[in-house]
Structure 1
Amino acid sequence: MARLGALSQCTQAPNTSSFCSSAQGDCRSGRIGSCCRRIGSSCGRWLSVDELKLEQKLGDCGREERRSKSGGVHCSRVAAEAAEVVPWSEDLEERFGKSGGVKFVEVAGYRIVEMRLKEGSSARVLLQSALVSSYKSRMWHGGLEELLYTAVVPGEDELTTVGGVGLRVWEGEAGSELDFAPTECWDVEDVRSDPAQFVQVALSTTSKGRSAGAMLEFKYVLTLTKASLSCALVTTNVGDSAVSIHGSLETTVAVNFVDGVYALGLEGCKYLPTAPKPSPGALEKATKTENGLFSRLGWFSGGEGDTKRNDSTRTGNEMFVEEEMVRMKGGFVRLYPDASDCVSLLDRGKRRTINFNNTGFGDIRLSNPGEESGLEDWESFVCIELARSIQPVDLQPGQEWRAAQQLVNPSK
């Protein structure tokens, strides 16, 4: 069966090598990611980042200190206010804000880079974790739409932002995994922009590995255009010893209703239907188990129903997708170990398609937590993760690994 026209509009991710090579890291420690955490049912509501007031005006981020019987903190909804420029951002505004298209603000304790084009497309990036918390693009009907699902939930000690586009790099060995940890120190290395056409922001940081002498330098380049948002990662081994790493970009896409979402471009691809365990474990061969693969959305109970679908043929512990369009549903989890370089998500409810162009990642995971997660809004998003989670990337001192994801709005 011929593929639908949406796939014909897939394009390769832009080459950012010349831009990335000029960036230099200045960070000592921290953690990449924290884009998703397990959320208990004790949280009363997921709050949008834009629904939080500035921290200095709200105190403890607008939380009401009422506790449920289980000890969880319930969240009260608060109105959004315009972000104010704070002193830390004045230097960045002076260095990078003159060309236009970029603004540095702080909202509820989050340091944010705002990228905006003259025609209205925009993106927001949290410097604490390099999480892309918002991406708005102009659609076929002329209006702007938010393509990402992002929320703020109470963590162990503070509010945590989940969803969006989350970056994770980790070091894996038999029986254990270790996240590289740059969290609070992503530096803005450079900004290039022509607000009528594009805005490009380069972030960087460094992190130590588990073994002596292991150190990685990360350069993360985000490029906003009228039709796309590109996230390009360059990881360089700047230490004295070899290191094996895995990496992923997980995008939480806002949808009208999960049952109306279809994935295109996976025809004939093998997949594994079983969800991973929430706790990290040994990375094993994909044809045997998926337990070692990390799921930052630790809600998934498994895709047991997927093994009985009529659109698949079972071979051992792998499955083969025969249909051109893969319909998603609540509790859906599939890992495609060797997927296409371009996959599209068709949302019939919102009447839109998003293309995901993949460079440097070897596998794709599609998922939704389902009703059993206890999440109020589980029907309003799906997750697509581009990753190197099965086969590690081996880096000798001085070697680098490049990977990129491009979110394309084909209606432009």
Structure 2
Amino acid sequence: MASSLLSFTLAKPTTASFIRASSAPATASPTSTSTHESLNERFARKGIHFSDHNGVPVVDLTVRNGSSVRVRVPDAHVTSYRPKVSWDEDGFEEVLYTIPASPVPDDPPKFKGGVGLVINDSKGSLVSSSEWAVKDVDSDAIDALQVELSSTSGSLDITYVISLYPLSMATAVIVKNNGRKPVTLTSAILSHLRSKKRGGTAIQGLRGCSYCSHPPLPSPFELLSPSEAMKTESSGWFSSDSEPKPGIWNVQDVPITILKDKVSRVYAAPPKERLKAFYNTPPSKYEALDQGRELFFRIVRIGFEDIYVSSPGSLSEKFGKEYFICTGPAAVLVPVVVPPGEHWRGAQVIEHDNL
């Protein structure tokens, strides 16, 4: 195996505990020439299965309690996460909001939403045109499963690891700079989380945290573009009088933030504060609440300095009857600089205690 199982302790998650860069070359041919049959021959094992979905190879991870994750191999897009959330026989709930993208003639169908990896440089997205290959898989019985994807963009080797456990799933990125010059990147792992009721959608755990209005990073998986995310539902730029203007910092003063209206925020330490020896960072974890289904999911950030949160307000109606939010760890306000020969790592964990 190119890498050992990425062990993960939910109580005290750390980047090093469940992601590590592999120095071995990729063991799979490029996904453009890999069929789901050949991927199954090389990588399938109990709980890890490859199949064809509308002409695109996908991998399904399923642990012992029935919780599952689906990943599209060519674009490393996580389109489904269905954890077991009750002891009922059918006690599984889809967490992610994923919809088909507008079709492009002669191209395989793509999707928007879900969990999307965003890595951008000054020229734009580094992952929108990337071809991903399955580099490795691993498992521990069927209570911990993992697939490792790899891609190359210029001088960068990018590894993306998706891991599934009975009560959580993790997505971790490792970027290695093989060039001779530093590389400056903005990045995020953005999850579009499904919610039953617009008025019953909220986040908690960010009280006392600084935030400002800010557009999301452009992404091939976005539902709302940066400009759409920042527009209000009426005329003007801001969703309400309480929403600060871009560049104006505020402090979250309530324990639970209702996401009924349209917002687009970055929770983080202001860049000027980061020049000090000591400053307050945002919490390492917070919770997304779905009152309609009486569920909550804890979002854990690792390696990222910012937290992005947005809600579509009435614009959600153009995507369907259900509501959703977009959130996840990010490096938006202060880009990540990866020196030559060095790695940068970041991760997101979605975990729950709903059982």
TM bracket (short chain): 0.7 to 0.9
3-state DSSP class of the match of 1:94? helix
Change (3 A) 1:109 1:16: farther
Is contact 2:316-2:323 (8 Å) kept?
A: no
Is contact 1:29-1:207 (8 Å) kept?
A: no
Q: 2:143 aligns with which of 197, 215, 219?
A: 197
Q: Which residue of 2 aligns with 1:170?
A: 120
Q: Superposed, which structure 2 residues align to 1:13-162 within 5 Å?
A: 13=14, 15=16, 19-25=20-26, 88-97=35-44, 99-142=45-88, 143-157=91-105, 158=107, 159-162=109-112
Q: Which residue of 2 aligns with 1:252?
A: 192
Please report how far the alpha carbon of residue 306 of structure 1 lies from its aligned counterpart in structure 2 after TM superposition. Answer: 4.0
Q: 2:248 aligns with which of 317, 320, 337?
A: 317
Is contact 1:331-1:368 (8 Å) kept?
A: yes
Is contact 1:13-1:357 (8 Å) kept?
A: no
Give CA deviations for 1:141-196 in whole Å, capped at 9, x if unaligned.
43111111111031454543001000011113xxxx42214645211111111343
Query: What stretches of structure 1 of length at least 5 have no aligned partner?
Result: 1-8, 31-85, 209-214, 277-292
Change (3 A) 1:93 1:106: same
- When structure 1 is superposed on structure 2, of 376-385 and 88-97 the one drifting more is 376-385
Q: Which residue of 1 aligns with 2:204?
A: 264
Q: Which residue of 2 aligns with 1:71?
A: none
Give CA deviations for 1:95-146 in whole Å, capped at 9, x if unaligned.
221x311111111122101111122111000112111000010113431111
State percent identity of aligned pairs. 28
Is contact 1:264-1:346 (8 Å) kept?
A: yes
Please report how far the alpha carbon of residue 24 of structure 1 lies from its aligned counterpart in structure 2 after TM superposition. Answer: 3.3
Please report how far the alpha carbon of residue 92 of structure 1 lies from its aligned counterpart in structure 2 after TM superposition. Answer: 1.9
Q: Superposed, which structure 2 residues align to 1:290-309 within 5 Å?
A: 293-294=217-218, 296=222, 297-298=224-225, 299-300=228-229, 301-302=231-232, 304-308=238-242
Give CA deviations for 1:22-48 in whole Å, capped at 9, x if unaligned.
453589999xxxxxxxxxxxxxxxxxx
Say yes or no: does 1:180 pair with 2:122.
no
3-state DSSP class of the match of 1:15? helix
Aligned-residue RMSD, C-alpha: 2.9
Say yes or no: does 1:365 pair with 2:308.
yes
Please report how far the alpha carbon of residue 229 of structure 1 lies from its aligned counterpart in structure 2 after TM superposition. Answer: 0.3
- When structure 1 is superposed on structure 2, of 267-276 and 348-357 the one drifting more is 267-276
3-state DSSP class of the match of 1:144? coil
- When structure 1 is superposed on structure 2, of 321-330 and 229-238 the one drifting more is 321-330
Change (3 A) 1:105 1:23: farther
Q: Superposed, which structure 2 residues align to 1:227-246 within 5 Å?
A: 227-246=167-186
Please report how far the alpha carbon of residue 294 of structure 1 lies from its aligned counterpart in structure 2 after TM superposition. Answer: 3.8
Q: 2:268 aligns with which of 329, 337, 346?
A: 337
Query: What stretches of structure 2 of length at least 5 have no aligned partner?
Result: 1-9, 270-281
TM-score scaled by length of structure 1:
0.70
Task: Please give the alpha-carbon distance, in whole angstroms, between the structure 1 residues aligned to 2:127 and 2:27.
Answer: 14
TM-score scaled by length of structure 2:
0.81
Is contact 2:30-2:132 (8 Å) kept?
A: no
Task: Please give the alpha-carbon distance, in whole angstroms, between the structure 2 residues aligned to 1:245 and 1:27.
Answer: 27
Q: Which residue of 2 aligns with 1:284?
A: none
Task: Please give the alpha-carbon distance, in whole angstroms, between the structure 1 residues aligned to 2:131 and 2:49.
Answer: 18
Aligned length: 319
Task: Please give the alpha-carbon distance, in whole angstroms, between the structure 1 residues aligned to 2:30 and 2:321.
Answer: 34
3-state DSSP class of the match of 2:41? helix
